[in-house]
Structure 1
Amino acid sequence: MVRPPTAAQRRVIEGADPVTGRLRGGTEAQLAALVRQGLAFRHPRPPHDHFLTPAGHRIREAVPEEVVEEPSAADSGVFAARIGGEAEPPEDGPARVREVHSAWQGLLELRRMTNPDGATDRPCGWERTHLVQAAALALEAAGHRPAGPDGDSGGGDSDGYRVRATPQPEAVAVRQPDAEALAACARTLEKAGWQTGEHTDPRTRARYLLASPRRT
């Protein structure tokens, strides 16, 4: 059984970049210990930075038992892609555009570093464990507009996209009332390395996408 990280090691893990997992602090001894525990790896190429493994990401994102209320993404300062329908969406503007662009570039770098062949044209392990956020980031980075709160504009679009989890493993649902915009979402996700298929909701008869990360 792997020994849980010490308080000092946990601080290093919690200080990692939320998208790429790059460790931005810690002594050489702490980093080496995290590598031995399988919570981080040292990149083979210069400058030989350290990055969290999927196990390290799980520890970083675990909610402590004593936490009663989950803070919002805005309160935590952690980047969160717009999934559509947020009650308190982040403000639009140049700052948000830069933030989304930076997150997308960081995700491409994570693909390059963690896919066995260094490919950036298909999703990596992090995306497979964060399906909704990963699909939403691909859409937002490509300029698609998310739905606002309860379908209102509110920083989004009444005809904007919504990304939601599904009971199916490795699949998310993307809903978009406008048929042309839904097709555009499919093209964006396919370009970002996802497989998509259009389906009809048997209850509402609305069309939606079922999207899953491509493996090859």
Structure 2
Amino acid sequence: MTRLDDQTLTETGLAPEGRGRVLLIGCGALAREVLDLTAANGWDHLDLHCLPAILHNHPEKIPAAVEAAVTARRGDYAEVFVLYADCGTGGLLQATCARLGVGMLEGPHCYSFFEGNAVFAGRDEMTAFYLTDFLVRQFDAFVTRPLGLDRHPQLRDMYFGNYTKLVYQAQTDDPDLTEKARACAAFLKLDFERRFTGYGDLEVALKHL
């Protein structure tokens, strides 16, 4: 993924071969996947600006953070696209993007668009707890410590007592991540299921850009 200098962007707004440059404003939890996709496909007209992944734990802050990033950087690009689904904002992010005139990912959350929104919508998994590659890597930072399970393991039943299984949606075929996900399931006392989803509708959306 490359970026033209600011003067060239301001004057032309165009990438090589005449393509308009696109700014992706995304959740930091998607950074590795987006970089892998752009590198594999040669999408050098796409630039990525990531917001802190910890917003995953504070969805009420996502719309304002996205709006600030769009406002600050859209002048240098032909198009801006937001790499968030609703992600717990209760429709507020969609309303913000509509007001700003920018597109965003479809679906309720990353677990849905990684599996494919149509496939995910057909499942009845109210008692499933989901992890992606990113959340497996960052399980302690995003689950164990924020919920206090490292200090108060008895809280596990309060948080996860109504879940029956942990579903690991694997973007990559990594045996080490699979074993770590299996250990996360054991830590939470949940059954374990691995699904290789690849990049799902994230890849579809980027192809359209």
TM-score (normalised: structure 1): 0.31
TM-score (normalised: structure 2): 0.31
Higher share in helix: 2
